[in-house]
Amino acid sequence: MAALLLGTADCGAAAWRIKKLGGRDYLPFTQIASFYKLKVQPRGDRVVSLVSPERVLDFRAGSREARIDGVKHWLSFPAVYFGGQFYISRMDLSKTLDPLMRPNRIPNLKPVRTVVLDPGHGGHDRGAVNRYGAEKNYNLDISRRIRPYLREAGLRVVITRQGDQFIPLEKRPAIATQIQKEDPGTIFVSIHFNASGERRSAATGYEIFTLTPRGAPNSHDAYLTRRSFSAEPGHRFDHASTALSAAIYHAMLGRLPMFDRGMKRARFAVLRRATTPAVLVEGGFMSNPRDAKLMADEKWRERLAESIAQGIIEFAQLTRIKKPPKLLAEYRRGEAAELAGTGWEFQPLAGIGATVRPGFADVRGWRGLLPAPLAEEPPPYRLEFEPAGWVQLEAWAAAGEDARSMVVDEQATLMGQGEWPDPEPPFPGLATWRSSLPPSGLDRGFVLFPASGGPLANGAAAEGNEGNGDREVEEIVEISGGAL
């Protein structure tokens, strides 16, 4: 029987029941709420909230989307409702919830003294372009504006490019690595602006990325690949990067509101190769007319730079004096009066779409008029490789990345594949279904659906567990203060 500890000095150790659901470890929200001193408020069998006077965490069964302290997060795996209880994956407890709920408990946090700012693109690589200019110039401008705020706070600042030159992706985190050898208290922040595949699009808002945990899919992926199990240098800083990401993102949304696209995970080169806590910021869409107009406003860019700097400073205070960073609600209370006199449309961010105005307010049901990329629910989640055995998957990863990953242009990804892909048609081969009939025709019948389905359908038979994807398997685990 495995033993695992997740406790604090004031809470003591607690026994948790870990259930195997769909071949993965899940933990009940009731015990998570008890551990973090929250109350469980289920709303039917689809939504559950964990609440305290200061914090609210909302989860939806079957969805990877969660709202934590008013900010949207993308989980590694969907929350689950099973047997009358809500569950969250063990990975999400370790890699998402615990760094957010107890950032002062993250182990081996080095006091931050140096910040490496990385203005994305440069030289012949312009990034996204709109009528006001090129992304490469905005990235550099924001980085230069961030620098004096950090220096005023006593931090050393290094910018990966001082002018309009091209730096390969792998060399950007290498600069931070070289500095980190002399100063262990170094962090890496890459600055970008987003774009969709269209010249003008409705896609809008902020998002921020950290490295995808090992064994989890990227936020924009609906499947695991062999590459998902590759060990990367950046994985050593999963918890610290999550806390840095939250500190910056809460400051951005609280001090300069925009549509909240969420805290996400990706395997970008600058995040994979980082040997320090690292994040990649997307400050709005070059392809969105409203976002583009804001970016062209020098005062708005100054405010954005100040907000990012504020988040970095909050994280630095966490590493030095263990003071948790400010949350969105605190920024709202402090900044509401100042923002009320601007044209930046400060609004509560209580729900998805709350900061998006359709331009025809008298029309009811305006959400239905928006294009598909702004839909709240992602397409159905599926797995192509279920982690039935890490040894074989690691062997695959060592032999080479998944073919699908090899053909992805990472620079194009950095420019903003910011939307869920269009869902596949439910029966892509239906047009040729007659060819699947037996030679004698319909009299013998045929099976349209496989006998067993679900996430384990591909690998269940090999494991001898066919059809038991929802079977409960209980394991008593001792949980204490360290990370899972």
Select from 78, 101, 124 the last residue of a domain: 101
133 with 260, same domain: the answer is yes
For residue 25, the domain's CATH number is: 3.30.457.10
Asked whether the predicted pLDDT for residue 375 surpasses 50, the reply is no
Give the contacts of 153 (CB within 8 A, at least 6 positions apart): 309, 313, 316
Q: What is the distance between the alpha carbons of residues 301 and 280, in angstroms, rounded to a whole number? A: 17
Has residue 79 been placed in a domain? yes
In this structure, the answer to whether residues 232 and 291 fall within a common structural domain is yes
Residue 227 confidence class, pLDDT cut points 50, 70, 90: confident
Count up the domains in the chain and report the number. Answer: 2
Q: Are strands 114-119 and 39-43 parallel, antiparallel or unpaired?
A: unpaired
pLDDT of residue 362 exceeding 60: no
- The answer to whether residue 402 is domain-embedded is no
pLDDT tens, residue by residue, 166-208: 999 999 999 999 999 999 999 999 999 999 877 788 889 999 9
**DSSP one-letter string for 129-178:** EETTEEHHHHHHHHHHHHHHHHHHTT-EEEES-SSS----TTHHHHHHHH
Q: Does a structural domain hold residue 151?
A: yes
User: Taking 60 as the threshold, does the pLDDT of residue 33 lie above it?
Assistant: yes
Q: Do 317 and 188 sit in the same domain of this protein?
A: yes
Q: Tens digits of per-residue pLDDT, 313-335?
A: 999 999 999 999 999 999 988 87
Last residue of a domain, one of 345, 360, 388: 345
Question: Is the model's pLDDT at 55 over the cut of 60?
Answer: yes
93 SS3 class: helix
Domain that holds residue 274: 114-345
Q: What is the mean pLDDT of residues 210-229?
A: 90
CATH number at residue 138: 3.40.630.40
Q: How far apart are CA 143 and CA 147, in angstroms?
A: 6
Are 27 and 173 found together in one domain? no
pLDDT in tens, 146-162: 999 999 999 999 999 99
182 lies in some domain: yes
Residue 324 falls within a domain, yes or no? yes
Same domain, 89 and 129: no
Residue 265 is assigned to a structural domain of this protein: yes
228/137 same-domain check: yes
Q: Residue with structure tokens 């384990």?
A: 456
Are residue 279 and residue 183 in the same domain, yes or no? yes
Same domain? For 186 and 70 the reply is no
Q: Do 272 and 298 belong to one domain?
A: yes
* Residues whose CB is less than 8 angstroms from the CB of residue 407 and which lie 6 or more positions away in sequence, other chains included: none
Does 95 share its domain with 127?
no
Domain assignment of residue 466, yes or no: no
Say what the pLDDT of residue 109 is. 93
Residue 276: pLDDT over 80: yes
Phi, psi angle pair for 439, to nearest 5° = -55, -35
Question: Which pTM does this prediction carry?
Answer: 0.73
Residue where a domain stops, chosen among 311, 345, 379: 345
Residue at 455 is within a domain? no
Clarify whether residues 184 and 268 are in a common domain: yes
pLDDT band at 377 (very low <50, low <70, confident <90, very high): very low
- Are 246 and 161 in a shared domain? yes
